[in-house]
Each structure stands twice: as C-alpha cells, then as structure tokens.
C-alpha cells in the first residue's frame, strides 16, 4: 500500500505546528482514493516516565494545570506521569532522566521501556514512549518545574495500590498515565523481583 502528499502547507507555527495536507492513498479494494485534505498537528516525539521505588513500592505521580481539560467539570488540574518532548540530538533515555529531575526532583538509576504508541494518529504525528524509572522515593516532594516554561508541578509519592485505586476510580483520566499504570499493574511483581 502506498500514499503520496500532493501539497503540504503550514497553517500555524507556535509551540506546535499545524499543516494542511492534500494527499491520496491506495484503497483496500484497489485503486486510489480521491484527493483528501487533512490537518496534521506536528507535536513530535514525547517521552513519559513513571518513577517507581521497588523498596517502598511507591510511584511518583505529578499534578499540573492542563488547558485541554479546562472545560471538564473536575477542573484542569490533572494527575499525570512525568513527560516532555524530545529535542534534536537527545536520546529518549536522556529526556526521561532530564524530565524526571525537572518535574519531580527524581534521580533515575535505571530505565525500562514500557510501551511506545501514537497518541491520536487521525490528526497528529505525536508518538509517546513511556519508561518505568527506578528511583529512591525518600525525599521526593514539593513543587517543581521550570519557570521559563511556566510549569507549576505538584509531586505525589504514593503506594502503588493507591495509584491503582486512583486509576480505577477515574481520578487519573489522561491516556499516558492510564497506559503506564495498567502496564505497571500487570508487570509489578516481576519488576519488584528484578529491581529489589
């Protein structure tokens, strides 16, 4: 199966980029599609991190303001996992380590890749790679983030079982932490044995 771009035009350039794309692609039944117009939100590669202390069986979650949830009845402050965008020349592991420190004061001693997925491929090229990060949770607390990025991030260090309760109750309602915690819940005992 093949596809081709007929025309690509920049519609907006800011923190993210938005392009208008005219394209055609092969059809499953044979032949080619008509010329289609699609918008593509260029967000790039995101790296997300779930820090875990296997000794205390605690995870590190963060809470911050998110404009996308501004109209939600529960408000725009969301419980999430640490995340950031990969800059040119950075490895995914470097981003994970940097973001863990910037957003939560976490020192990462080991990283395990959990999953990599497209967040919304119908209109965005963003891929998110999630890592489980081994850390020592004692002393991790407070408010973090970079002033120049306008970050105001509250850290939550909680028992794994409490995180699963938050997940199952709907308190955690963003894709990356849901995926990370479901993966972790399935693999937790194996990870504890491996890292303890």
What amino acid positions are annotated as catalytic residues?
Answer: 149
| Burial status of residue 150 (CB atoms within 10 A of its CB: 0-12, 13-18, 19 or more) | exposed
Strand partners, 134: 52, 110
Contacts of 74 (CB under 8 A, 6+ apart): 173
DSSP secondary structure string for all residues of 148-174: GGT--EEEEEEEHHHHHHHHHHTS--S
* Alpha carbon distance 153, 73 (integer Å): 21
Q: Which helix (H) or strand (E) holds 116?
A: strand 110-118
Q: Which residues contact 13 (CB under 8 A, 6 or more apart)?
A: none
Is the distance from CB of 50 to CB of 113 less than 8 angstroms?
no
């Amino acid at each position: 199966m093949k596809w081709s771009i007929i025309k690509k035009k920049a519609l907006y350039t800011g923190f993210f980029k938005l392009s208008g794309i005219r394209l055609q692609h092969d059809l499953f039944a044979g032949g080619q599609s008509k010329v289609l117009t699609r918008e593509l939100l260029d967000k790039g590669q995101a790296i997300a991190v779930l820090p875990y202390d296997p000794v205390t069986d605690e995870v590190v979650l963060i809470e911050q303001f998110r404009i996308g949830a501004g109209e939600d009845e529960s408000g725009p402050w969301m419980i999430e996992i640490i995340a950031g965008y990969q800059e040119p020349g950075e490895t995914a592991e470097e981003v994970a380590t940097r973001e863990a420190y910037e957003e939560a004061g976490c020192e990462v001693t080991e990283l395990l890749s959990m999953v990599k997925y497209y967040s919304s491929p119908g209109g965005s090229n963003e891929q998110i790679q999630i890592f489980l990060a081994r850390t020592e949770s004692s002393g991790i607390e407070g408010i973090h983030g970079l002033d120049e990025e306008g970050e105001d991030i509250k850290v939550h260090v909680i028992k794994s079982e409490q995180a699963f309760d938050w997940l199952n109750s709907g308190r955690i309602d963003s894709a990356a932490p849901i995926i990370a915690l479901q993966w972790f819940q399935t693999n937790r005992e194996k990870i504890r044995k491996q890292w303890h």
